[in-house]
Amino acid sequence: MSADHPIAIVIHGGAGELEKCFTEEEYSAVLVQAACAGYTLLLEGSSSIDAVVAAVVVLEDSPLFNAGKGAVLNSAGGIELDAAVMEGSQLRAGAIGAITNIKNPILAARTVMEDSPHVLLVGRGAEQFAAAQQCQIVSPDYFHTEHRREQLKRFLAAKQSPADSHQHGTVGAVALDKNGNLAAATSTGGTTGKLPGRMGDTALIGSGTYADNRTCAVSCTGHGEMFIRHAVAHRLAMPSAHSAASLSERAGEIIRELKLVGGSGGLIAVGPRGELVMEFNTPTMPRAAIGADGNLIVSFGR
Amino acid sequence: MSADHPIAIVIHGGAGELEKCFTEEEYSAVLVQAACAGYTLLLEGSSSIDAVVAAVVVLEDSPLFNAGKGAVLNSAGGIELDAAVMEGSQLRAGAIGAITNIKNPILAARTVMEDSPHVLLVGRGAEQFAAAQQCQIVSPDYFHTEHRREQLKRFLAAKQSPADSHQHGTVGAVALDKNGNLAAATSTGGTTGKLPGRMGDTALIGSGTYADNRTCAVSCTGHGEMFIRHAVAHRLAMPSAHSAASLSERAGEIIRELKLVGGSGGLIAVGPRGELVMEFNTPTMPRAAIGADGNLIVSFGR
């Protein structure tokens, strides 16, 4: 085992403010379950892709987070889900956008990567492809929770812009496996009251999700449009031989700079030596990590 | 006028091989028309966004290129169009994906940037938004040309993968205006025989399109999945204080590296001092440019 790389996993449940209708204990329980689901696979020798997908499936299946089951509603009262995975050895990636009936969008993203010649499928075509690949289809009712209906009602009553939302709740995971391969996965329901068809940064490779074994795997959460415009994930993961700053320092700088131009949010990342990064410019970012020392960390605020 | 920045525009009609059913003269005529449409606006003092959109509209309206009127067909025999615009002063961007009935996708992308809180709208939601913003709707028949139907028939008969296509034909434009603002625009029908719902790099900010006044405006064309995975546009446009190489040298290196991993294609870019860049690793990339000296260049091969 001594020649093996350290293993590590970090997960997030979205930067922003916690939903007041759930307790920290409830959040903690799911975060621990998700981190352990991924870490167990890493311990058993599975790939970082397996680990990040397993962790995100747990978060998607929980009503606490804005992804899968707990997705927010768009301005028409519907749900549209985005997700992406990427692995850092060959820079392979898969993503889906604006889908309405797949139980676990992250599994659909993975099958786009592994079973299609494409990186991104959206809408009805993505749904048809995922169904043909045996992804579980659910009725729209599966996603509709009373909590999200109330949230949309408040949003529409306040005539807010989706850009004003401070509750992001996107989920993501990054991991390093014993073969030194990095992977990232992100899944989201987007922003409350978004226009139908809107995609944020989550499913866009280089915006909200990226992985490169030379630098890091990264998963973002926040005001998606700002993360797209500033190419946040790729900004952190792009190989740059000239930087003396650590991964953590560079991530902190990017997230601070983003705040200066009005972009709220955060990111998690893991480097090729197991460096753990969790940076955010919002009040909280629910997160969990298990690093090379095997210790589990669960945190919310700074 | 002496304090003004130089003005410049570069356009491309896709890296790959020319369609054999059209002559170089036919291509030249449209390229010149498109470049002049944009350049005239720059001369009159209009913004670089106005210029790149005007140039791309000319290319979209021509049946010669794989964008707008001349879009290729997907595996189901339908058309799905992607487009993006970005401006380099505030890093504002707008894009649409997988739309079927908007005559000029680049105008829909622009209205997403200017009239919505979002960056990317896809599918039916994008069509509804564009229609509400007075973008011209056309029937699917508008796009269906005999030429593209024959192409799909050959593709399906040969059981090719969309990844094997060497005819890309995406169109794009980049420009610098007298105020020193850079802008980029890209528009495409994607790849022949693509799966329904597939989006390539064109509409993804940082993949096929990017603009940052500090570095460059860039528009890509080629095997879209590879451009997404390698975040080509952002790789060139990301501010990096440490590089001594010129914009043209860095673009050449990126396109050569992409070739080594099997990614065919090319890009055009313009820098803040009017530097013109046209790099590609394919047999041809139909293109035109008018630089600070006011000279018009039209080229196909090296």
pLDDT at position B241 over 70: no
Domain-located, residue B1: no
Residue predicted with more confidence, A240 or A170 = A170
Categorize the per-residue pLDDT at B16 as very low, low, confident or very high, splitting at 50, 70 and 90.
Answer: confident
How far are the Cα atoms of A150, A163, B202 from residue A160, in angstroms, in the given order?
14, 8, 31
Average model confidence (pLDDT) across chain A: 94
Conformation bin of residue B262: beta by default, left when phi > 0, alpha when psi is -120 to 50: left
Q: Is B28 exposed, middle or buried (0-12, 13-18, 19+ CB in 10 A)?
A: middle
Start-to-end CA distance of chain A, whole Å, equals 35
DSSP string spanning A193-258?
Answer: TPPTTEE-STTSBTTTEEEETTTEEEEEEE-HHHHHHTTHHHHHHS--TT--S-HHHHHHHHHHHH
Show the CA angle centred on residue A190, arms to residues A184 and A195, nearest 5°.
145
pLDDT of res. A183: 98
Phi and psi angles of residue B196, each rounded to the nearest 5 degrees, phi first: -55, 140
Q: Which stretches within B159-231 are classed as H helix?
A: 224-229
Write out chain A residues lying below 8 Å of B200, CB-based: 120
* Strand order, beta sheet including B182-188: A198-199, B120-122, B92-99, B81-87, B182-188, B171-176, B8-12, B287-290, B296-299
Report the amino acid identity of residue A38.
G
pLDDT at B3 over 70: no
Decide if A2 is inside a domain.
Answer: no
Rounded to the nearest angstrom, the minimum Cα separation between A298 and chain B is 32
What pLDDT score does A165 carry? 63
Of B92, B163, B229, the CB nearest to A205: B229
Q: What is the DSSP string of B123-172?
A: HHHHHHHHHHTTPPB--GGGT--HHHHHHHHHHHHTT--GGG--B---EE
CA-nearest of A87, A44, A90 to A216 is A87
List CB contacts (< 8 A) between A206 and chain B: 204, 206-207, 228, 231, 234
Instruction: Return phi, psi of residue A108, to 5°.
Output: -65, -40
- CA geometry: angle at B288 spanning B192 and B32, to 5°? 95
Which helix (H) or strand (E) segment holds residue B31: the answer is: helix B24-43
* A3 domain residue, yes or no: no
* B56-82 average pLDDT score: 95
User: Cβ distance B251 to B207 under 8 Å?
Assistant: no
Taking only the tens place, the pLDDT of each residue in A258-300 is: 999 999 999 999 999 999 999 999 999 999 999 999 999 999 9
Residues of B in contact with A119 (CB under 8 A): 224-225, 228-229
Nearest neighbour of A92 by CB, restricted to B199, B229, B242: B229
Contact B92, B99 (CB under 8 A): no
Closest Cα in chain B to A194: B118
Question: In this structure, are strands A93-99 and A120-122 parallel, antiparallel, or unpaired?
Answer: parallel
pLDDT of residue B10: 98
Number of domains, chain B: 1
Smallest Cβ–Cβ distance between B231 and the set A80, A161, A234 belongs to A234
At residue A238, does pLDDT exceed 90?
yes
Q: Partners of B170 in the beta sheet?
A: none
Task: Give contacts of B236 with chain A, Cβ < 8 Å.
Answer: none
Q: What is the average per-residue pLDDT within A88-99? A: 98
Q: Is residue A182 part of a domain?
A: yes
DSSP B47: -
Q: Where are the beta strands (DSSP E) in A17-162?
A: 81-87, 93-99, 120-122
Q: Is the pLDDT of residue A1 over 70?
A: no
Q: What mean pLDDT do residues B282-288 have?
A: 96
Q: Among the listed ranges B143-147, B215-219, B240-244, which one has the minimum average pLDDT value?
A: B240-244
Average pLDDT over chain B reads: 94
pLDDT at B159: 77
Q: How confident is the model at residue B20 (pLDDT cuts 50, 70, 90)?
A: confident
Residue A153 has pLDDT above 70, yes or no: yes
The residues that bridge with B278 in the sheet, in sequence order, are: B268
**Of the listed B40, B100, B145, B170, which one is catalytic?**
B170
Instruction: Quote the pLDDT of residue A62.
Output: 96
How does residue A220 score in pLDDT terms, banded at 50, 70 and 90? Answer: very high
Kindly report the CATH number assigned to the domain that includes residue A254. Answer: 3.60.20.30
B72-112: per-residue pLDDT in tens? 999 999 999 999 999 999 999 999 999 999 999 999 999 99
Tell me the HSE value of A24 on the side-chain side, using a 13 A CA sphere: 10
In a domain, B3, yes or no: no
Give the ipTM: 0.96
In this prediction, residue A242 carries a pLDDT of 61
CA B39 to CA A14: how far, in whole Å?
A: 45
d(CA A56, CA A291): 18
In the chain, the amino acid numbered B267 is L
Q: How confident is the model at residue A164 (pLDDT cuts 50, 70, 90)?
A: low
Hey, how many other C-beta atoms are within 10 angstroms of the C-beta on B118? Answer: 28
**Residue B178 CB neighbour total at 10 angstroms:** 18
A interface mutation test: which of B204, B215, B216 has the most A CBs within 10 A?
Answer: B204
Mean pLDDT value across residues A212-239: 97
Known catalytic residues of A? 170
Confidence band for B2, pLDDT divided at 50, 70 and 90: very low
What's residue A151's pLDDT? 87
- pLDDT tens by residue, B161-178: 766 666 667 999 999 999
Backbone angles phi, psi at A75, to 5 degrees: -65, -20
Pairing of strands A198-199, A209-212: unpaired
Q: How far away is chain B from the Cα of A93, in angstroms, using its nearest Cα?
A: 7
Q: What is the mean pLDDT of residues B225-248?
A: 90
User: Is there a domain that residue A1 lies in?
Assistant: no
Both tokens assigned to A204: 């866009």
Consecutive H or E run containing A276: strand A276-280
Find the domain containing B31 and state its range. 8-299
Per the confidence metrics, is the pTM higher than 0.90? yes
- With pLDDT > 70 as the criterion, what percentage of chain A qualifies? 96
Does residue B116 form part of some domain?
yes
